[in-house]
Chains A and B, each alone.
Chain A
Amino acid sequence: MPKVIKNVGCPYCGCACDDIEVTVSDDEKKVLEVKNVCAIGTEIFMHGGDREGRIKLPRLRQPDGSVKDISFDEAIDFTAKTLLNAKKPLMYGFGSTNCEGQAAAARVMERSGGMLDNCASICHGSSFLAIFDNGYPSCTLGEVKNRADVIVYWGSNPAHAHPRHMSRYSIFPRGYFSGKGHKGKTVIVIDPRYTDTARVADHVLQVRQGHDYELFCAFRMVCHGHEDDIPDVVANIPKEKIIEVANILKNARFANIFFGMGLCHSDGRNHNIDIAISLTRDLNQFTKCTIMAMRGHYNIAGPGQVWSWVFGFPYCLDLTKKDLAHMNPGETSSVDLAMRDEVDAFINIGTDAGAHFPIPAVQHLKKHPFITIDPNVNMASEISDLHVPVKICGVDDGGIVYRMDNVPIQFRQVVNAPEGVPSDEEFLDAVYERMVELEGGKFDE
């Protein structure tokens, strides 16, 4: 009899919806059906379990370029030795691992004296830089659902990237103080393009690409009583429109600004978010206003949380001194390390650096041992010296994940992975033990 499991968390995007219903096969090897989940989440569940085509053993690259299946013990040994032989190994990824795996990785890289980084480095890392410099007046998604009457999406397109965001959290739900649903809300979309999200907006500002910083400055001028001094046009937006929208924000009962890659990766990067935070803070003089980063993956906030409590820094960790941790994105960030040829071994885990890094960065990294730890075949695995399959978090492994608003969600295992396939945590803990064995007492001298 197939089994229905309820209250399952979805391991795709930063929405981390936890109301999914999964029907699994009798033998607990396959997902048969999913309910409540968006199109992309569906794919992830259907890919999990002990199904045909799933990678079941580690694959080691041979001298002739082909790959050969090896045992997990051999893979553990290979990985441990790679780390111990390197002077500056880099472990990067973690967009799709659970927190238990991220904590295990922290212990491994602390011991090996390497670099530890996560996908924020190429994504919301700019948000972190802004938060370091300027703070983060934010809230949980339920606050937006229950209280917000003005919603801003700036440089963010949830219609594509976070499919259930608007219906579950921001525009459409009827909350405690927002019983009218979307009819009681004003939606503002700011983006150089007229996106699909813009279709549900009351106000669309097509800002000149690369000039969001100046537009934020103009909004702030309204807050500081200098609206007369705003030039006629700022970043392609006319002064009258700027003043109109600023007043909507000032007169809101509760305004929330959601932002995404449009701010994170257009000119100035972290400064765009930094000034957005300044605007949010300014608006608190008039009303309640909060800001929230639209984190992309269901647990990309995870390593930021875990490594902050273990090391004090959320990403771009330099653990090479072994007695103190150091962080300085620009120097200790993965792409910069790769482009400057600063590392001599690379482990890609729970992500696909082969697809997402600039090609020259991948070429630099490929000069050195290159390992991928991921359930799937992806671009990184296909150029790796070793590919280690692991469980898919949220499908064949549980664990804690952090949603985009940093609320912890407890995930459930719904099906079994193929026999013998470990979780990230199990694999990394085994690598740690093997490193201890290989080094003997030398480490504590």
Chain B
Amino acid sequence: MSTVTITAKGTHELYLEAYNVTPDAFAGKTPAEIAALECHEGNYKGTLGEFFEIEGAAGATAEDTKIIVKGDCKKIKRIGQQMSAGEVIVEGDCDMYIGGWMKGGKLYVKGNVDSFCGIAMAGGELIVDGDAQNHLGSAYRGDWRGMTGGLIRVRGSAGNDVATFINGGTIIIEGDAFIHVSTHGEGGTVIVKGDVEGRVAGQMVKGDVYVYGDIKYMMPGFKYVDEVEAEVDGETAKFAHYIGDLGERHPKRKGEIVYGNIYKKL
């Protein structure tokens, strides 16, 4: 793997939209060509070279390309957006849409991220050491096709609207989540190791949510059915199993209704 290291100069006043900081955009380019890639600060169309120091060499393909992002990226959005392969490591906090619409590859943030990260993810891995804000692994506004594949792991906590309209893939939050997890869910797996305030699996058609901590306000539409044992994220444990949302429509498979599932760790 060939590595390009870019260091934010901190010369942007407003927020920087770094939608070209992806292995796909860097692959096959020289540092000078990478420096010429576009980015936006508001309506100012600039180049990456204006806002980052660029060193190293990209691989011939996205798969062979690794990008390390250093410096203060708290006001930089869209890193790793739509990437299909390769690796991106951000060495601190960054802003919104990190790994948005990701199709493959690995994106690792050694800090916190803001909202809309992993939006409509289709594949790959997004790992965040710190906290995520809202709309983690959610769908774009209006789209009934949300996350369809891949893995998101947040070591800290998340906000609201985790996995809205999730269709597939896995999200693991090692801390807490606020409200609205897997709303309108139609598949996929969400695991919250901490507490969730409420509205877990509201309007869920299909899918699985595991909560290890406390759910302060359970949805009335979820009914306790039994106790199950399952291996989750490498650990086996016992869970109280609820089915629902009984206020929502559900598909049938071989004549049987397929409900959404909430598993609360015992």
Report which A residues bind B (CB closer than 8 A).
86-88, 112-114, 129, 132-134, 211, 213-214, 216-221, 223-224, 226, 229-231, 234, 267-268, 271, 274-275, 278, 282, 320-322, 327-331, 340-344
A221-B41 CB under 8 A given contacts A129-B141, A329-B141: no
Q: Are A87 and B246 in contact (CB under 8 A)?
A: no
Q: Are A327 and B141 in contact (CB under 8 A)?
A: yes
Q: Which residue of B lies closest to A132 (CB)?
A: B142
In the assembled complex, the CB of B251 is this many whole angstroms from the nearest CB of chain A, namely 14
Give Cα distance in the complex from A132 to B179, angstroms. 20
Q: Are B43 and A87 in contact (CB under 8 A)?
A: yes
CB contacts (< 8 Å) of A231 on chain B: these are 220
Q: Are A132 and B246 in contact (CB under 8 A)?
A: no
Q: Are A342 and B199 in contact (CB under 8 A)?
A: no
Pairs A-B, 4 closest by C-beta atoms: A220-B247, A113-B43, A88-B42, A87-B42
Give Cα distance in the complex from A156 to B124, angstroms. 45
A268-B199 CB under 8 A given contacts A221-B220, A320-B42, A320-B43: yes
Give Cα distance in the complex from A229 to B135, angstroms. 31
Identify 17 new A-B residue pairs, CB closer than 8 A, beyond the known A87-B42, A112-B43, A275-B202. Answer: A88-B42, A133-B184, A214-B220, A217-B219, A217-B221, A217-B247, A219-B247, A220-B248, A221-B247, A223-B247, A224-B246, A229-B221, A268-B160, A268-B199, A282-B247, A328-B140, A343-B42
Give Cα distance in the complex from A86 to B221, angstroms. 50
Interface residues of B in 123-150 (CB under 8 A from A): 134-135, 140-142, 144
Give Cα distance in the complex from A112 to B13, angstroms. 18
CB contacts (< 8 Å) of B41 on chain A: these are 87
A321-B40 CB under 8 A given contacts A133-B184, A328-B116: yes
CB contacts (< 8 Å) of B219 on chain A: these are 214, 217
A87-B13 CB under 8 A given contacts A217-B245, A267-B179, A330-B134: yes
Q: Are A342 and B245 in contact (CB under 8 A)?
A: no
Give Cα distance in the complex from A144 to B116, angstroms. 39
Give Cα distance in the complex from A219 to B246, angstroms. 10
CB contacts (< 8 Å) of A112 on chain B: these are 43
Give Cα distance in the complex from A213 to B221, angstroms. 11
Q: Are B142 and A330 in contact (CB under 8 A)?
A: no
CB contacts (< 8 Å) of A282 on chain B: these are 247
Q: Which residue of B lies closest to A135 (CB)?
A: B142
B20 at interface (Cβ–Cβ under 8 A)?
A: no
B232 at interface (Cβ–Cβ under 8 A)?
A: no
CB contacts (< 8 Å) of B203 on chain A: these are 274-275, 278
CB contacts (< 8 Å) of A329 on chain B: these are 141
Give Cα distance in the complex from A19 to B41, angstroms. 49
Give Cα distance in the complex from A275 to B249, angstroms. 13
Give Cα distance in the complex from A329 to B115, angstroms. 11
Interface centre among A213, A234, A274 (most CB of B within 10 A): A213
CB contacts (< 8 Å) of A267 on chain B: these are 179
B165 at interface (Cβ–Cβ under 8 A)?
A: yes
In the assembled complex, the CB of A88 is this many whole angstroms from the nearest CB of chain B, namely 3
Partner of A234, one of B144, B202, B220: B220
Interface residues of B in 31-50 (CB under 8 A from A): 40-44
Pairs across A and B, CB under 8 Å, 7 listed: A133-B184, A218-B220, A221-B246, A224-B246, A274-B203, A275-B202, A321-B40
In the assembled complex, the CB of A230 is this many whole angstroms from the nearest CB of chain B, namely 6
CB contacts (< 8 Å) of A218 on chain B: these are 220-221, 247
A226-B246 CB under 8 A given contacts A268-B199, A321-B43, A327-B141: yes
Q: Which residue of A lies closest to B44 (CB)?
A: A87
Partner of B115, one of A214, A331, A342: A331
B180 at interface (Cβ–Cβ under 8 A)?
A: yes
Q: Which residue of A lies closest to B180 (CB)?
A: A271
Q: Which residue of B lies closest to A328 (CB)?
A: B141
A331-B223 CB under 8 A given contacts A88-B42, A133-B184, A268-B199: no
Q: Are B43 and A213 in contact (CB under 8 A)?
A: no
Interface residues of B in 145-163 (CB under 8 A from A): 160
In the assembled complex, the CB of B19 is this many whole angstroms from the nearest CB of chain A, namely 10
B82 at interface (Cβ–Cβ under 8 A)?
A: no
Q: Are B42 and A86 in contact (CB under 8 A)?
A: yes
Give Cα distance in the complex from A114 to B202, angstroms. 36
CB contacts (< 8 Å) of A133 on chain B: these are 141-142, 144, 164-165, 184
Q: Which residue of B lies closest to A208 (CB)?
A: B217
In the assembled complex, the CB of B238 is this many whole angstroms from the nearest CB of chain A, namely 23
Interface residues of B in 80-127 (CB under 8 A from A): 96, 115-116
